[in-house]
Amino acid sequence: MNILVCISNVPDTTTRIKFTADNKSVDYTGVQWIINPWDELALTRAIELKEAGKANKIMVISVGNSTVEATLRKALAAGADEAIRVDAEALDSFSTASHLADAIKQYPADIILCGIESSDYNGSSVGGMLAEMLDLPSVSSVSSLEIEGGSIKITREIEGGRQQLETALPAVLVVQKGIAINPRIPSMRGIMTARTKPLKVITASAVNAESQINSYDTPPQKSSCRMIDPENLDELVELLHKEARVI
């Protein structure tokens, strides 16, 4: 069973987000790039399955210019076997999914893993789009994945509960936290061997975006916090009822 993990290259989640002067784009100067947290958990589960002898080859794939290669190398250092970079600009979810779909036709896998969203644009779209473009089944909000022989068992979250499912393969699984808890940190040996692992660069045909960001803004700041005396909580109830009108 071969696993392909789709990786998004995102700013470190503790980054303070700044915009350019015209508010039309993000100012990425000085930003540290990381593997999108959910993609990292997907990769971690893939590595665990390989270590347990349940999966054979782990490939990672990302769309972007040469700056994403550092992130792909991190994935190789953590335990992936091969990396693919699609040399194109990820304009929006649609263009990203289109580029991934074209590449995956050349490098098929039994299980394709995507994080449930990326921590930059929070689009929650690439996995589902990719599955539809490849005409594959998909299962989303997956919190557990087991491989048993030639088939897989999945747990996914739904409103107010969860389900266990089986799916025909190949399939796209869109994963959330729970699939793994702590991301795999590359070992020194992993970092050394990552240098010799294959990182292929493939060219892409042009794809138009389906959406376009007009402007960025910072969320409105809260006015100061009104402190309530813990001995007088009726005041809080009164404020929530009459001032904030939320109860």
Partner 1 sequence: MSILVYAEHRNHKFNKASYELISFGNKLAGDLNTNVFAFTTGTLAREDLKTLGNYGCNTILHFPQDVSDDEKQLSRIISDIASERNASIVLIPHSFRGRAAAPRVAIRLKASLAQAISGYPVSLKPMVVNKRAFSGKALIEETLVADISVLTLNANTFGLIENVVEPAIEVLSIDAGSAATRVIQSEVQSGKVLLSEADIVVSGGRGMRSADNWQPLEELAEVLGAATACSRPVSDEGWRPHHEHVGQTGKVVSPNLYFALGISGAIQHLAGISASKVIVAVNKDPDAPIFGAADYGIIGDLQTVLPRLTEAFRKHKSQS
In the range 187-226, which residues lie near partner 1 by CB under 8 A?
Answer: 209-219, 222, 225-226
Cβ closest to partner 1, residue 195 vs residue 241: 241
Q: Which two tokens stand for residue 116?
A: 């449930």
Asked if 106 interacts with partner 1 (CB under 8 A), we say: no
Is it true that the peptide bond before 183 is cis, omega within 30 degrees of 0? Answer: no
Phi, psi of 173 (to 5 degrees): -110, 125
Contact status, residue 83 vs residue 116, Cβ threshold 8 Å: no
Please identify, using beta-carbon distances, which residue of 124 and 193 lies nearer to partner 1. 124
Contact partners, residue 108, CB within 8 Å, separation at least 6: 170
Query: Minimum distance between the CB of residue 89 and partner 1, rounded to whole angstroms?
Result: 16
Name the residue type at position 87.
D
Contact residue for partner 1 among 27, 51, 52, 162 (CB under 8 A) = 162
How many Cα atoms sit within 13 Å of 129 on the Cβ side?
20
Taking the complex as a whole, the smallest distance from the CB of residue 110 to partner 1 amounts, in Å, to: 14
Q: Give the interface size with partner 1 as a residue count (CB under 8 A).
A: 79
Is residue 31 close enough to count as binding partner 1 by CB under 8 A? no
Interface of this chain with partner 1, residues 114 to 133, rule: CB under 8 A: 119-129, 131-133
